[in-house]
Structure formats: C-alpha cells, structure tokens
C-alpha cells in the first residue's frame, strides 16, 4: 500500500522539529481529517532556505510528505520553494494511495504558508510566527 520511501520518511522523518531563528513559520490544517502541519524556514539574506523543519500532528502520510517537502526545499531559493507542488512531493515519495493525496496537498500548503509568513515579517505585516490557514480543499489527484 505504501512505498518504501513513504515508510522510510514516516519511520525516520527528516528535519523534524522547530528551527531556531526561523523567520518564516506557517501552519495549515485540513478541516476534513483534522491533521495539522507546521513548517519553519530560516531564510538567509540571499533568499536561500538555509534550514527548514516541521511539526506534524497527523497521519503517517502527513509526516512522510512533510519530511519529503523539507528535503525538497532545503538549500533552495524562496522562488524555487514556491514552485513545490504536491505532485512533486508524491513523485519523490514514489507514490501515495489516492485516499492519502490530500496529505501531500497539506505539505505544499504548509511550505506556502511559511513563505507567506516570511514575506509578511519582512514587510512588517507580521511579527509572530504563525500564519494559520485552514484547508477546505478536497482530495485532488497528483498531476
């Protein structure tokens, strides 16, 4: 049912936990399943994501997709991270069962929420590290 990659990222999540000195933090939740994901970014002056971490209160696929999402954006520019799609996360995990695709959407949204928060802080629109977005998105297939 789950690929070895999914099981590996679930059993050994990469970049789990908060990041000290994070300057972009976003939290998203899926209203349907109740799972919550929080993403922490430390972006340097050149706009490169130096460090990234996550905290996920949710299913195994949510843990695996957050873990993979952090790996895919670490060391990348903000612009590159904005291109991250749930399909790319699913592909990197070598697939997810259809019923679990929404977990990958949550990972994509968590990255975007953290980037939004990074820009909001830069522009002085937000001091605190919390952008809370509730996803009402239905499950959607990977492209």
Residues of the shown chain interacting with ligand FES in the complex, contacts defined by CB under 6 A: 30, 33, 35, 58-59, 61-62, 100, 102-103, 106
Query: Which residues on adjacent β-strands are paired with residue 27?
Result: 38, 132
Min separation Cβ 105 and ligand FES, Å: 8
Q: Which of 6, 63, 69, 103 is catalytic?
A: 103
Min separation Cβ 81 and ligand FES, Å: 20
Query: Nearest-CB residue to ligand FES?
Result: 33
Instruction: Name which of 8 and 137 has its Cβ closer to ligand FES.
Output: 137
Residues 6 or more apart whose Cβ sits within 8 Å of residue 125: none
Paired tokens of 130: 């919390």
Instruction: Name which of 35 and 108 has its Cβ closer to ligand FES.
Output: 35
Q: Which of 16, 33, 48, 126 is catalytic?
A: 33
Min separation Cβ 137 and ligand FES, Å: 11
Paired tokens of 76: 């990348």
DSSP state of 93: T
Instruction: Name which of 102 and 121 has its Cβ closer to ligand FES.
Output: 102
| Known active-site residue 59 | no
Residue numbers annotated as active site: 33, 103
């Amino acid at each position: 049912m789950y690929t070895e990659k999914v099981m590996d990222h679930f059993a050994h999540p990469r970049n789990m936990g908060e990041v000290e000195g994070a300057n972009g933090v976003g939290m998203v939740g899926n209203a349907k399943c109740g799972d919550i994901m929080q993403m922490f970014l430390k972006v340097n002056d050149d706009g490169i994501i130096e460090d990234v971490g996550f905290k996920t209160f949710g299913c195994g696929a949510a843990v695996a997709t957050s873990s993979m999402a952090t790996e895919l954006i670490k060391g990348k520019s903000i612009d590159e991270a904005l291109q991250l799609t749930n399909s790319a996360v699913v592909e990197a995990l070598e697939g997810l069962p259809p019923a679990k695709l929404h977990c990958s959407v949550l990972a994509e949204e968590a990255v975007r929420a953290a980037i939004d928060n990074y820009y909001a802080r830069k522009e002085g629109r937000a001091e605190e590290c919390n952008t809370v977005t509730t996803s009402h998105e239905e499950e959607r297939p990977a492209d």
